[in-house]
């Protein structure tokens, strides 16, 4: 049972979306829909203000109230859909999700069609809380406090805090790691199925320090971590201690070293020196999120970067060693398939996969182990 | 790495929300904001169509393109906020989240203020995918198929299927139980910490069959389950087998019975007969979601119902018996406190609590065990 005080109405305005199917695509159905919507939004104070504005695929209508509400209605006859978007800003008379549900049910009853709604969206809240899954589904978080916010030379670094997730690091508005996210770190480690005791380990990225912290508990021989962004490490050291503990308090210890730098350059250096590792982690903050149809320039760059990281890592592995990598959300089936097809082209290797539900990602995340066989 | 085919653009239109802070609340700041927004939405084809419309707390501006886009801008000078809402419906030239992110960054750069965005919302998709947490945060799911949809005498019953969650039961648009939700069932059972072997058990509600299925694995003496809605049970039997298994294939077995009826009436009957149970589950579908300020009629009814269920259950427990109940999301701190304060008023009892992350709820859910001490 939730109460008013559990529901954050702490925003300047709320936007409400209601999608109304049309019974048919003819003019009569459009007219009926318009008439019923006019009637049903009237109790909210909304009156249609302008006559039809013709767009290529739709008609646009504007609603305004005398006080705090406005709305737009677009009717797409050929798609048999009307989209109603209401904006309201009164705190005293805020529409609740129950009010919107009543509107939805009333429209369904009057028009005898399918009506769906998006619960209210908060405009101008003090902390931005809308982020997406890897496949761009929308999630609203419950962050209440901005612990840290700075544009570094490489990215926008942000640490937010919520009562249910603790502190969570965001890089360029992508969820990166939260204090609640041990499943991520255990996922990339393949925890329980691989022993790091007495191993020589290289972490590429991992600036949040969570992986370093967990690895050091496993009594490794030596861990080298290379992350390019010191702003990330310094802020996590201060605000993400639930994940990194004291691992970043010093950049050098008995059995570890943290290097601020470009991991690709260090990998070249290590290759020239003939240095080898038992385990290498690809824990780079630059998770490639690809959205275009057939690949744009950014995607090609991301693929090139990713495949270079994997290939260079394999050159630095001892025989029998492992490259541990995180990929993307379980819902990104095509991306995972593409990545696996790439892994299959690598010589003298085999790979295994697993997934863990990562709390701050709000989704199952997929991890791969690539073993160098000979 | 996700690809275009992982991202569901399967909708008639997309709505995009961008919130722009104002540097100050004076007329010059409003004018600057308006000018920069005019400039930045022009490449999207959007032109301001009308002069200012004055609402009590804001000015409203309308944008339209010659083809597929429209937009509204509300500027709230005293709140130092401008809310831009863009609707676009072209499939060929769909704005991606990257485009919106570019717009956001451009606005930040030009205006030197905080700009946040809500990633695109899908209008008119074939399956409704926007649902909320217990404290009304918005989540977008990845359901692709409607397996079942029917209005019963008691509620709207819906079973949706997704590639990541399997089939999930919704009652009146509230997530109820999914095939991925063993943590819920184990949570309410207090699995591992309480033995049901040889126990006499009563389930109030539980129409999805998940709890019955898991309890029967524990070799109880006898389980009686009473759910009011046969539409739920018949649909779960067919479409939610990953949760209920074969438990609902027959309503009578060697050690269980499923009754279609009102649990309150049966509890009165059992009390009159002097019948007692070792464990009683409050697994009622009617999760009280309360939104009003100081409690409205619906909330009072829900409280009365809930307290009656608990009190009547205690009358049917053997000494040492337990009432197992689920409450709400971990984010609803005030609601949980109110419930706990109620539990503390119950004579001769003590209670314990726990939480489990329930995948289809996308949040931690809180469970209580109330023990009858004497």
Residue A33 has pLDDT above 60, yes or no: yes
Residue that wins the pLDDT comparison between A53 and B61: B61
User: Who contacts B142 (Cβ-Cβ below 8 Å, separation ≥6)?
Assistant: A135, A137, A331, B8, B129, B162, B163, B164, B165
Q: Find the residue in B nearest to A156 (Cα).
A: B105
Mean pLDDT in residue range B234-246 = 98
Per-position b or e across A309-328, b if 16+ CB within 10 A of its CB = bbebbbebbeeebbbbbbbb
Scan residues 87-106 of B and list those with Cβ closer than 8 Å to A.
87, 89, 96-98, 101
* A161–chain B nearest CA distance, Å: 13
- Answer yes or no: do B6 and A70 touch at CB < 8 A: no
Residue A257 makes CB contacts below 8 A (sequence gap 6+) with: A222, A223, A224, A225, A251
- Averaged over A165-174, what is the pLDDT? 94
The overall average pLDDT reported for chain A is 91
Percent of chain B with pLDDT over 90: 75
| Partners of residue B72 in chain A, C-beta under 8 Å | 62, 70, 72, 85, 87
Q: Which residues of A are catalytic?
A: 283
Is the model's pLDDT at B291 over the cut of 70?
no
Give the Cα separation of A186 and A365 in Å (integer).
12
**CA B355 distance to own-chain centroid:** 16
Flag whether residue A56 sits within 8 Å of chain B, measured between CB atoms.
yes
**Does the pLDDT value for residue B81 go beyond 50?**
yes
ipTM for the predicted complex: 0.90
Start-to-end CA distance of chain B, whole Å, equals: 59
**Residue among A130, A171, A168 at smallest CA distance from A150:** A171
Nearest-5° Cα angle at A229, A227 to A235 = 110
Contact criterion met (CB < 8 Å) for A139 and B139: yes
Torsion angle, alpha carbons of B271, B275, B281, B282, to 10: -10
pLDDT greater at residue B242 or residue A305: B242
- Residue B96 — pLDDT band, cuts 50, 70, 90? confident
Inter-chain CB proximity A140 and B142 less than 8 Å:
no
> What confidence score (pLDDT) does residue A287 get?
43
Of B6, B12, B335, the CB nearest to A135: B6
Q: Would you say residue A188 has pLDDT above 90?
A: yes
Q: Tell me if residue B324 falls in helix, strand or coil.
A: strand
Confidence at residue B49, expressed as pLDDT on a 0 to 100 scale: 86
A70-107: pLDDT as tens digits: 999 999 999 999 999 999 998 776 777 778 888 999 99
3-state secondary structure of B356: strand
φ, ψ of residue A309 to 5 degrees: the values are: -60, -45
A274 in Cβ contact with A196 (< 8 Å): no
Would you say A280 and A204 are in contact if contact means Cβ atoms under 8 Å apart? Answer: yes
Q: How far is CA B146 from CA A215, A315, B357, in A?
A: 44, 49, 25
In the A/B pair of chains, how many CB contacts fall below 8 A?
A: 281
* Crossing angle of helices A297-315 and A333-344, rounded to 10°: 40
Check pLDDT > 50 for residue B163: yes
Cβ within 8 Å of A, B 171-210: 173
Q: Which of B9-13, B15-19, B68-72 shows the lowest per-residue confidence on average (mean pLDDT)?
A: B9-13
In whole angstroms, what separates CA A103 from the centre of its chain? 32
A142 band by pLDDT with thresholds 50, 70 and 90: very high
What whole-number distance in Å separates Cα of residue A69 and Cα of residue A9?
16
pLDDT of residue A289: 42
Q: Which residue of A has its CA nearest to B302?
A: A1
pLDDT confidence of residue B287: 43
3-state SS string over A155-193? CEEEEEEECCCEEEEEECCEEEEECCCHHHHHHHHCECC
List of chain B residues whose C-beta atoms are within 8 Å of the C-beta of residue A10: none
Question: Per the CB < 8 Å rule, is B163 touching A333?
Answer: yes
Q: Is any Cβ of chain A less than 8 angstroms from the Cβ of B297?
A: no
Sort out which chain A residues have CB atoms less than 8 A from B17's CB and list them. 15, 121, 123
Q: Please tell me which residue, B6 or B227, carries the higher pLDDT value.
A: B227
B288 pLDDT above the threshold of 60: no
Residue B176 near residue B208, CB atoms below 8 Å: yes
A38 burial type by CB count under 10 A (0-12 exposed, 13-18 middle, 19+ buried): middle
Q: What is the mean pLDDT of chain B?
A: 91
Residue with tokens 């737009």: A72
CA B338 to chain centre: 20
Q: Does A68 touch chain B (CB under 8 A)?
A: yes
Least confident of A84-93, A157-166, A194-203, B161-170: A84-93
Q: Which helix (H) or strand (E) holds B241?
A: helix B241-244
Q: What is the mean pLDDT of residues A47-59?
A: 84
Per-residue CA distances from A315 to A164, A271, B67, B232 (Å): 42, 7, 54, 57
Backbone dihedral angles phi then psi of residue A319, each to the nearest 5 degrees: -60, 135
B286 inside 8 A of chain A by CB:
no
CA-to-CA distance for A123 and A91, rounded, in angstroms? 13
Q: Which residues of A touch B327 (CB under 8 A)?
A: 1
- Strand, helix or coil for residue B295: coil
CA distance A213 to chain B (A): 24
In this prediction, residue B289 has a pLDDT band, given cuts at 50, 70 and 90, of very low
Can you say how many angstroms the Cα of residue A217 is from the centroid of all Cα atoms in its chain? 29
* pLDDT band (50, 70, 90) for residue A45: confident
Helical residues (DSSP H) of B112-209, grouped into ranges: 182-189
3-state SS track over chain A = CECHHHCCCCCCEEEEEEEEECCCCCHHHHHHHHHHHHHHHHHHCCEECCCCEECCCCEEEEEECCCCEEEEEEEECCCCEEEEEEEECCCCCCCCHHHHHHHHHHHHHHHCCCEEEEEEEEECCCCCCEEECCCCCEEECCCCEEEEEEECCCCEEEEEEECCCEEEEEECCEEEEECCCHHHHHHHHCECCECCCCCEEEEEECCCCHHHHHHHCCCCCEEEEEECCHHHHHHHHHHCHHHHCCCCCCCEECCEEEEECCHHHHHHHHHHHCCCEEEEEEECCCCCCCCCCCCCHHHHHHHHHHHHHHHHHHHCEEEEEEEEEEEEECCCHHHHHHHHHHHHCCCCEEEEEEEEEEHHHCEEEEEEEEEECC
CA end-to-end span of chain A, whole Å?
58
Residue B290: band (very low, low, confident or very high) from pLDDT cuts 50, 70, 90: very low
Predicted confidence band at B23 (pLDDT cuts at 50, 70, 90)?
very high
Query: Do residues A269 and A276 touch, judged by C-beta distance below 8 A?
Result: no
Cβ–Cβ below 8 Å for B121 and A17: yes
- Contacting residues of A for B81, CB less than 8 Å apart: 12-13, 123-124
In this prediction the pTM is 0.90
Residues 226-265 of B with CB under 8 A from A: none
Q: How far is A221 from chain B (nearest CA, A)?
A: 32
* Pairwise CB contact (< 8 Å): A2 & B138: no
Quick one: average pLDDT of B212-239? 98
Mean pLDDT within B365-372: 97
DSSP character string of B48-114: E-S--EE-SS-EEEEEE-SSSEEEEEEEEGGGTEEEEEEEE--STTPPPHHHHHHHHHHHHHHH-S-
Q: Which residue of B has its CA nearest to A90?
A: B57
- Domains present along chain B, CATH in parentheses: 13-123 (3.30.160.110), 130-174 (2.30.140.10), 179-372 (3.40.50.150)
Give me the pLDDT at residue A66, please.
85
Residue A15: is it exposed, middle or buried by C-beta count within 10 angstroms (0-12/13-18/19+)? buried
Q: Which residues of A touch B363 (CB under 8 A)?
A: 164
Catalytic residue among B227, B278, B283, B312: B283
Q: Which SS3 state, helix, strand or coil, does residue B33 take?
A: helix
Highest mean pLDDT among A166-170, A333-337, B9-13: A166-170
As beta bridge partners, residue B356 has B365
Say if CB A319 and CB A273 are below 8 A apart: no
Distance between CA atoms of A72 and A45, rounded to whole angstroms?
A: 14
B198 in helix, strand or coil? coil
| Close Cβ partners of B3 (under 8 Å, ≥ 6 residues apart) | A290, A332, A334, A335, A338
Give the range among A63-72, A208-217, B90-99, B119-128 with minimum mean pLDDT.
Answer: B90-99
Alpha carbon distance B155, B262 (integer Å): 14
Q: In this model, does residue A295 exceed pLDDT 80? A: no
């Amino acid at each position: 049972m939730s109460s008013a005080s559990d529901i954050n109405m702490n925003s300047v305005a709320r936007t409400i979306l209601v999608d109304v199917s049309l019974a048919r695509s003819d003019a009569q159905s459009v007219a009926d829909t318009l008439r019923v919507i006019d009637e049903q939004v009237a109790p909210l104070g909304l009156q249609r203000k302008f006559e039809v504005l013709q767009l290529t695929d739709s008609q646009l209508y504007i609603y305004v109230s005398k006080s705090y509400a406005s709305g737009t209605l677009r009717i797409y006859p050929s798609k048999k859909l009307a989209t109603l978007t209401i904006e309201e800003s009164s705190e005293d008379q805020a529409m609740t999700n129950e009010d919107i549900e009543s509107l939805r049910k009333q429209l369904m009853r009057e028009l005898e069609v399918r009506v769906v709604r998006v619960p209210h969206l908060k405009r101008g809240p003090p902390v931005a809380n809308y982020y997406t899954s890897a496949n761009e589904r929308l999630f609203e978080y419950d962050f209440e406090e901005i612990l840290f916010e700075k544009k570094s030379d490489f990215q926008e670094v942000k640490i937010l805090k919520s009562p249910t997730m603790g502190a969570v690091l965001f890089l360029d508005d992508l969820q990166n790691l939260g204090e609640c996210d041990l499943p991520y770190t255990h996922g990339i480690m393949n925890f329980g199925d691989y022993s790091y005791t007495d191993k020589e380990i290289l972490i590429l990225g991992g600036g949040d320090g969570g992986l370093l912290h967990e690895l050091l508990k496993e009594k490794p021989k030596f861990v080298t971590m290379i992350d390019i962004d010191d702003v990330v490490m310094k802020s996590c050291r201060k605000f993400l201690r639930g994940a990194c503990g004291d691992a970043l308090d010093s950049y050098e210890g008995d059995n570890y070293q943290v290097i601020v730098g470009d991991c690709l350059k260090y990998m070249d250096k290590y290759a020239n020196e003939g240095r080898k590792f038992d385990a290498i982690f690809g824990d780079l903050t630059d998770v490639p999120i690809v959205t275009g149809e057939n690949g744009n320039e950014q995607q090609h760059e991301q693929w090139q970067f990713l495949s270079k990281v994997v290939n260079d890592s394999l050159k630095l592995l001892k025989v029998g060693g492992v490259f541990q990598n995180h990929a993307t959300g379980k819902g990104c089936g095509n991306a995972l398939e593409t990545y696996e097809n790439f892994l299959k082209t690598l010589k003298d290797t085999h790979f295994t996969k697993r997934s863990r539900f990562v709390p701050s990602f709000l989704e199952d995340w997929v991890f791969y182990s690539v073993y160098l066989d000979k």
